[in-house]
Structure 1
């Protein structure tokens, strides 16, 4: 299982989704003081989740 790392801001396409307020607050706290955007954090989290799902399938 790959360890989650706070990423730099990669090129992205805008996609609108809703998050619970508590999740938004936790993400914003985690990225405070870093060179990471909310979107970049969520993208990396989704990539790790997808990788974990693939590992579980094998």
Structure 2
């Protein structure tokens, strides 16, 4: 399985999405002290999730 790594800032397109407040708090704690943004963290998490789904097929 692919290991999650906190990414650096990629080029992006703006999308609006709602997150539960507790999840936002957890992500912000995870990226504290890094050069990673909330958005970059979420993008990497989605990439890992998609890779996992494709491996399960």
Smaller-chain TM-score bracket? over 0.9
In structure 2, the residue matched to 1:56 is 56
Please report the RMSD computed on the Cα atoms of aligned residues, expressed in angstroms.
Answer: 0.2
Equivalent residues in 2 for 1:1-58 (5 A)?
Answer: 1-57=1-57
TM-score normalised by the chain length of structure 1? 0.98
Structure 1: 5+ residue stretches without partners: none
Structure 2 spans left out of the alignment, 5+ residues: none
Runs of 4+ in 1 over 4 A off after TM superposition: none
TM-score (norm 2): 0.99
Whole-angstrom CA distance in 1 between matches of 2:34 and 2:41 = 11
